[in-house]
Amino acid sequence: MKKTKMRITSLIITLTTMSLSSCFQPDSANGQKLTNALIKSEKIIYYNIGILKNERSYGFGRDVFNEYDRNGNMLKESIILVEEDNKKETINLSSVSNYKDGKLSKVVNFSVIKGGVKKEELIFSYQKDGRLEKEECKAFEDGKEVLNKKCNYTTYTYAKNETANIFVFDEPTKTFKLFSRTIKEFDNRKNLIKSTDYDEKNEPYLFEIKTYNVKNLLVTDKRKSEFMDLYVTYLYNENGDVIKSTSKTAEVNYSYKYDDYGNWIEKTEKTTMKDGEIDNNYLIKRTIEYYSL
């Protein structure tokens, strides 16, 4: 149990870190808007807002170049790295997504640090009704598939609620063992409203409750565990983009500039801690290329 608790602690720390950054903003940040203009690619660059001028932010993984098909599915994601001395940019492929019959079938992830070496594959299979049945993660080293602790698979069942059972490869026994289980509940609009995570002994360790407005936009997100007690509220503008998120420890404010198609091309993101300290203050620029109509 001690080993599992350590791994679950690591998971909670990761979730907390996400909650203080990306989870402060729901899934309205990137991707397609419901317009006639279809996004072919987008380049997103972060800048630190300064008193005299804005400086390029060099946080790894924030600057990205994404490519989409005409259905709005992401085809490729690349991370943009910048050499600070000469400001030279390099676009480094980080993932490639494949689709079959309109559904995600495989994602190949690459190591940007190691020069684009394949590090894992995610394989997705579906039930006859189109719902996800299994997600398998295969690990690679030096271009060859290996079995290690990074290997895992998740099976999905759907009775009253959705249940995901996660199995992780155990190196000492060379077998896959149940690591955790997640049960999700949805409302009649297919919004996730409740999620509970259990360890391999079926003991609950993470609880999440979400609420939405009439436009199906997330307005409250509560997560609680032995290591975390997070409650975030969200406010939106008329375009459906979040303009303010508030938790017990911080407040994040956003503003946007849009193009003629209603997609944001500039965004500010300012995080203020409860003691008044400014944690982050970003200007985010987004360059969009559209498919020809």
The sign of the dihedral angle between the CA atoms of 84, 65, 250, 9 is: negative
**Amino acid in the structure at residue 174:** K
Q: Which domain holds residue 73?
A: 2-290
For 126, the token pair is 């579906």
Instruction: Please tell me the predicted confidence (pLDDT) of residue 33.
Output: 60
Write the CATH number for 215. Answer: 2.40.128.720
Instruction: Please tell me the predicted confidence (pLDDT) of residue 51.
Output: 82
Number of compact structural domains in the chain: 1
Residues with pLDDT less than 70, the chain:
1-36
Measured between alpha carbons, how far is 25 from 104 in angstroms, rounded to an integer? 24
Asked whether 263 and 271 are in contact (CB, 8 A), the reply is no
**How confident is the prediction for the chain on average, in pLDDT?**
89
Instruction: Please tell me the predicted confidence (pLDDT) of residue 111.
Output: 94
Enumerate residues 6+ apart whose C-beta is below 8 A from 198: 180, 181, 182, 183, 204, 205
Instruction: Please tell me the predicted confidence (pLDDT) of residue 266.
Output: 98
Enumerate residues 6+ apart whose C-beta is below 8 A from 267: 254, 255, 256, 257, 283, 284, 286
Element (H, E) at 9: helix 2-19
